[in-house]
Amino acid sequence: MSNMQLDTLRRIVQEINSSVCLHDSLDIMVNQVSDAMHVDVCSIYLFDERNQRYLLMASKGLNPESVGNVALQLGEGLVGLVGQREEIVNLDNVSKHERFAYFPETGEEIYHSFLGVPVMYRRKVMGVMVVQNREAKDFSEAAESFLVTLCAQLSGVIAHAHAVGNIDVFRKPNLGSTYKTFQGSSGAGGIALGRAIILYPLADLAAIPDREADDISEELVLLDQAIESVRQEIRSLDEKMHDSLMSEERALFSVFLRMLDDNALPAEIKELIRDGHWAQGAVKRVIDRHVALFAQMEDDYLRERVADLKDLGRRILASLQEADSSHKELSSDSIIIGEEISTAALVELPVGKIAAIVTSEGAANSHMVIVARALGIPTVVGVTELPINTLDDVELIVDAYQGRVFVNPPRRLRQRYKEIQKEEEQMAKDLKQYETKDAITPDGVTVRLFVNTGLMIDVVRGVQRGAKGVGLYRSEIPFMLRERFPGEEEQRAIYRQQLSHFANKPVVMRTLDIGADKDLPYFEIEEENSALGWRGIRFTLDHPEIFSSQIRAMLKASIGLNNLHILLPMVTSISEVEEALYLLERDWIAVQEEEEVKITKPKIGIMVEVPSVLLQIDEFAELVDFFSVGSNDLIQYLLAVDRNNPRVSSVYSHFHPSVLRSLQRLVIECHKYNKPISICGEMAGDPLSAVLLMAMGFNTLSMSSSNILRVRKAICNVSMSDAQVLLEQVLKMNNPLIVKSWIEYYFKTHGLADMVKSSRIVNV
């Protein structure tokens, strides 16, 4: 593809991504493609799943009256052929093809050549893009490549529009009254029945969808209140900065106030509201429109005002959202719905009133899901087709075991899930007997079960459920809940709480592990591939002041308790460990001198997350006291699969043969060098995989407090000899689904069917 074509592609993609709705995106696409390819016709047909047809949604070259009216049934015509084959169809004379279907209202009888390309998203046909010419001649390979590339971009736009409910073009009935099922990925298991409350990202213009206003009068009132609130805010800022800034530097505040005059931005926003748009969507449209105009201007000063304009838009939006949220009171059956929900946003909500969480983005092992699991909140993620916009206050059932969301479920389905909830309540009562039991197999082997913590509720539940220690304290969580880096004394108080609740028991504290899906609101890290980027020990060694502040706080918190262990995350090389050990030694000596007290030197371990560590265990063993497997990341890197990407989440499995074999070899190596080996990922909290880990020889399994009793029950009912036979059998298998099914079969035939998620499946 030539540089000119690449530039054209970039320009088209940029315009599509900046458009405010799907209709605009499609219109931009057909017009730009027609011009760029010098073709007579460019058309886009979208697949209407409900009516099983392809509907003409945009066209340049065909009769405009046919747009929105011409539809081809599944498999009908050349468009249907492209969708059926899921491949390119390139013809020099369409009239000679047996599948040609003529629609006189389009006026396409004068066009002979045809190039159709499927718009695919996650192996599903979303639509078909077609270009046509009068000349009877095949399209070139370069033309095919150009169109395929654009269709790949368009597929994401269409899928996103589906996800947020922006596709109303098929005139679907409002989901407020229609029963429908959506599939995602299971995050934190459980069942919930309740009503949806939509959580939009605060003051994020890009995340605000188009939707109709429920009450136009109310939206206008909310806008007036928001505009007046922003005016007062700007006046206050102007007054506050009067003595600090010169009048020229404060001129921006006057510009903002003029833009907020009744006949300026507010008038445009109100016009859209009166046309039926909700206030937040109207603000987004108006701001986006002005941003696009300013960005195209040749005047540098005006181009630089784009950021100011966006800032003003965010202020209006934030005020609107504040007013909107004051109208929403969470009840005990509130099901939180959103595109993506951050950990910080989750813990700011009244957790006791959240029945479940559903997101259209994310995957089963994201940090938010890990926290939701610890809080015992059923969670389904990656529901990419969920029409979020249409679900506010709609009745839902969330089956987080299967990753299913039922919208407006029928009475019989509600009744069945209420029965399952009762069964779960009974199961929870049955599991309480394991709170006071040790995890000892029927043939007498003891397995230590530790708890993963981060929030105080993890600690309380861990103690209540008999955890023998903390296998992973996520020190980043207190950092995520603040608006700045916590000081040394703040950290000391937090760490002391953790250590004292488990006095006389080991507490493994992981040093700050930010990056990837664990962002700090006040220290954003922008990277193309954050999972492989500046995270874990890579970040803290680049910021030794943050690392030392944390180590000093941990050491001070451990005085008199002597149960601190320190864990280094995301280790890749020997040099990283050597540098960290130097800083640890330096801080250990310094703190003892400052506090005038002897502090027991903590044991130091590294997380086994990066596969390269597996090949250097002998060298790392000379430096550290213990190893701890972070199975979530190790699996991600072993299988080259982004665990937060719903498109490939099905590839992620802790039953994959390469995962099991790698862990078995790791345990053998650690035992060879007399180093304790634990595992603290989600794999440890799954009863099915826990018995395999036990058989491998892991010294400790550390998990969410919500999984301790289930895993303990499994261990108390599966002998070590049986577990070793199971392990030997599955290590010979080459398919993760077969591995999982084999273990499930064992559980079901040995009185442990309640440990198997599939035993709770409801067929609908």
User: Active-site residues: which are they?
Assistant: 367, 680
Q: How far are the Cα atoms of 191, 214, 363 from residue 646, in angstroms, in the given order? A: 21, 32, 5
The answer to whether 486 and 504 are in contact (CB under 8 A) is no
**Dihedral angle over CA of 359, 362, 363, 365, nearest 10:** -110
Q: In what order do the strands lie in the sheet with 89-91?
A: 71-73, 53-60, 41-48, 124-133, 113-121, 89-91
CA distance linking residue 682 with residue 364, whole number of Å: 10
- What residues have CB less than 8 Å from 45, skipping those under 6 apart? 54, 55, 56, 57, 72, 79, 127, 128, 129, 130
SS3 at position 512: coil
CA distance linking residue 742 with residue 727, whole number of Å: 11
Strand partners, 23: none
Give the β-pairing of 379-381 and 354-359: parallel
Give the β-pairing of 448-453 and 700-703: parallel
Strand partners, 452: 472
CA 102 to chain centre: 45
Strand partners, 118: 128
CA distance linking residue 713 with residue 285, whole number of Å: 55
Give the β-pairing of 113-121 and 124-133: antiparallel
Helices (H) and strands (E) in the chain, counts: 25, 22
CA distance linking residue 543 with residue 101, whole number of Å: 66
- 234 phi and psi angles, rounded to 5 deg: -70, -40
Q: How far are the Cα atoms of 119, 193, 596, 709 from residue 21, in angstroms, in the given order? A: 18, 32, 65, 48
User: What single-letter amino acid sits at 722?
Assistant: D
CA neighbor of 403 nearest in space, from 456, 357, 368, 449: 357
Question: Where do we find the tokens 């700090």?
Answer: 520
CA distance linking residue 437 with residue 439, whole number of Å: 7
Q: How far are the Cα atoms of 368, 394, 472, 514 from residue 509, in angstroms, in the given order? A: 19, 42, 6, 14
Question: Where do we find the tokens 């009475």?
Answer: 411
The answer to whether 205 and 284 are in contact (CB under 8 A) is yes
CA distance linking residue 732 with residue 755, whole number of Å: 24
**Residue burial 508-540, b: 16+ Cβ < 10 Å; e: rest:** bbbbbbbbbbbbbeeeeeeeeebbeeebbbebb
Apex CA 510: angle with CA 664 and CA 683, to 5°?
35
